[in-house]
């Protein structure tokens, strides 16, 4: 059953954590974009719910001020902003207090002027500790009505047991088609373009396998630390924050089989198949196939343990690199190297497909080491686009081969700006399209792979944790991870305005 705002006259978005960081940085800008676009064209209400004390008027003033920071200024938006703000309301309440949910139900019906409003989207922009409570509290006052939907941020559980328990809780309150486990990476245009690139171009399918691909490399790193997220991050770490959700999703998109039909059911079936095909790591492999790191002080940058709200003796990883294997016909013997980290030299997310070398080298490569293997770089952010490295003959009398780039950038499509990930996903949820959201069996399948790793670290707190100076490409031990395969990490330069430049270590 698809549910959309077009089918009902009044539509309510309830944001738990309405005064929090995610709301002002991502959700309000996304909803404003949808308002400008006309998606929220009917009679709609946005209700922020949080412990901070605001009235409707003071909340609108707060949001208006924050919009100046997080939304690109456009003089033409002044009147539109006022119209948008008129749809904002606020209810001061503690989302952890079950006894207050009756007041929430009354407040929703009062705002809409309807009895038992059921066209409601709940967004949980709260600490994960509330993910298992809020749906039960909504159910206790019959706010889990037919037609309601709920979006839950990651991480969906901190281990397999919590994930399974959460899934059972949500299944007892909502139907699966009402539950939207969000991973904003899947909302990025360039992530979705992986599918278009693979399945809309017939020339790549015959070579997208173990016969032609040597290894796959996936990187998602940032050039900042944890900022003000110390308390949260120190309890989560890089594996839970990035690998178990974002990076493994990118692995699945790069490795999946083409779905029979591009819809939510078939597409998400193929995602689950990839997760089920991951070769489980044994305890004796953990230290060889997984490199954990934590950034240390360097120049003007603090070390992780010096960050606010971080344990001075913390062993939480801010960097992780892993070697994964997929046990199926297409990918047998092809390693997938993934890495993520804080305080890297630059911010970049990309998938790099390394094709095999030609079986016989016919040509001279000049004074430099031969780089004859083709490389395909799918840049997710920034400078979104695709780079295909190919060998061509250099001008001159000698037959010398040089690698050049076939380079496409989304900036070249001037008339169609890239859609914000949160806008895309919230719009899909409004229209009842779950394709780019994670299904219950997928999140459990992912945790089945990562859970032994988490358990091992908890049982062995002295597991290797390598330091790396802030502003570098992580611990040197991460290089040993790829050496056995005669591979190396692709390190983009700090200056990403020139997207075809990559730095050697």
Hey, is 240 helix, strand or coil? helix
Alpha-helical runs (H) found in 236-306:
237-238, 248-255, 264-277, 286-289
Torsion of CA 411, 417, 421, 424, to 10 degrees: -150
DSSP conformational letter for 321: E
Q: How many CB atoms lie within 10 A of CB 52?
A: 14
For residue 426, how far is the Cα from the chain centroid? Answer: 14
Burial class (CB in 10 A: 0-12, 13-18, 19+), 280: exposed
User: Read out DSSP for 130-189?
Assistant: GTTTHHHHHHHTT-S-TT-EEEEPSPS-SSHHHHHHHHHHHHHHS-GGGEEE--GGGGSH
Give the residue numbers annotated as catalytic, written as ranges.
246
Which is it for strands 120-124 and 149-152: parallel, antiparallel or unpaired? parallel
Can you tell me the distance from the alpha carbon of 44 to that of 111, in angstroms, rounded to the nearest whole number? Answer: 10
Can you tell me the distance from the alpha carbon of 479 to that of 112, in angstroms, rounded to the nearest whole number? Answer: 58
Query: What tokens appear for 278 in the block?
Result: 């991951």
Can you tell me the distance from the alpha carbon of 119 to that of 133, in angstroms, rounded to the nearest whole number? Answer: 21
Asked if residue 335 lies in contact with residue 491, where contact means CB atoms within 8 angstroms, the answer is: no
- Which H or E element spans position 65? helix 56-70
Q: How far is CA 454 from CA 240, 301, 425, 459, in A?
A: 9, 29, 29, 9
Can you tell me the distance from the alpha carbon of 456 to that of 468, in angstroms, rounded to the nearest whole number? Answer: 23
**Closest-CA residue to 54 (of 66, 63, 44):** 63
Q: What is the CA radius of gyration of the chain?
A: 24
Can you tell me the distance from the alpha carbon of 16 to that of 51, in angstroms, rounded to the nearest whole number? Answer: 10
């Amino acid at each position: 059953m698809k549910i959309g705002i077009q089918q009902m006259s009044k539509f309510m978005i309830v944001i738990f954590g309405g005064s929090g960081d995610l709301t002002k940085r991502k959700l309000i800008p996304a909803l404003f974009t949808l308002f400008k676009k006309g998606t929220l064209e009917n009679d709609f209400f946005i209700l922020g719910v949080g412990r901070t004390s605001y009235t409707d008027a003071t909340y609108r003033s707060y949001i208006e001020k924050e919009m100046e920071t997080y939304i690109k200024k456009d003089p033409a938006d002044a009147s539109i902003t006022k119209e948008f703000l008129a749809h904002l309301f606020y209810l001061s309440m503690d989302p952890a207090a079950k006894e207050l949910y009756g007041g929430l139900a009354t407040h929703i019906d009062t705002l809409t002027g309807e009895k038992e409003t059921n066209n409601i989207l709940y967004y949980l922009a709260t600490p994960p500790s509330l993910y298992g409570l809020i749906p039960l509290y909504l159910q206790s006052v019959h706010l889990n009505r037919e037609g309601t939907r709920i979006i839950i941020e990651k991480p969906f559980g901190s281990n397999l047991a919590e994930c399974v328990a959460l899934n059972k809780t949500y299944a007892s309150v909502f139907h699966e088609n009402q539950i939207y486990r969000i991973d904003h990476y899947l909302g990025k245009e360039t992530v979705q373009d992986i599918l278009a690139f693979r399945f809309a171009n017939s020339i790549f399918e015959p070579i997208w396998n173990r016969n032609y691909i040597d290894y796959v490399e996936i990187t998602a790193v940032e050039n900042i630390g944890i900022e003000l997220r110390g308390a949260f991050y120190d309890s989560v770490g890089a594996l839970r924050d990035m690998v178990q959700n974002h990076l493994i999703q990118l692995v699945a998109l790069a490795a999946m089989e083409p779905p029979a039909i591009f819809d939510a059911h078939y597409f998400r079936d193929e995602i689950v198949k990839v997760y089920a095909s991951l070769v489980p790591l044994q305890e004796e492999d953990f230290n060889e196939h997984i490199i954990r790191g934590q950034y240390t002080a360097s120049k003007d940058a603090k070390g992780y343990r010096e960050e606010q709200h971080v344990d001075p003796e913390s062993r939480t990883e801010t960097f992780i690199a892993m070697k994964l294997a997929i046990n199926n016909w297409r990918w047998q013997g092809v390693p997938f190297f993934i890495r993520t980290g804080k305080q890297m030299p630059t911010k970049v997310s990309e998938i790099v497909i390394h094709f095999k070398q030609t079986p016989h080298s016919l040509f001279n490569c000049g004074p430099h080491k031969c780089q004859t293997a083709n490389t395909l770089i799918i840049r997710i952010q920034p400078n979104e686009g695709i780079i295909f490295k190919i060998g061509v003959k250099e001008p001159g009398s000698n037959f010398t081969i040089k690698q050049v780039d076939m380079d496409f950038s989304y900036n070249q499509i001037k008339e169609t700006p890239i859609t914000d990930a949160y806008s895309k996903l919230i719009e899909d949820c409004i229209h009842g399209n779950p394709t780019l959201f994670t299904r219950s069996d997928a999140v459990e399948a992912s945790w089945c792979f990562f859970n032994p790793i988490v358990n091992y670290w908890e049982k062995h707190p002295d597991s290797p944790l390598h330091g790396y100076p802030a502003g570098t490409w992580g611990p040197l031990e991460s290089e040993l991870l790829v050496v056995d395969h005669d591979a190396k990490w692709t390190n983009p330069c700090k200056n990403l305005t020139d997207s075809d430049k990559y730095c050697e270590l």
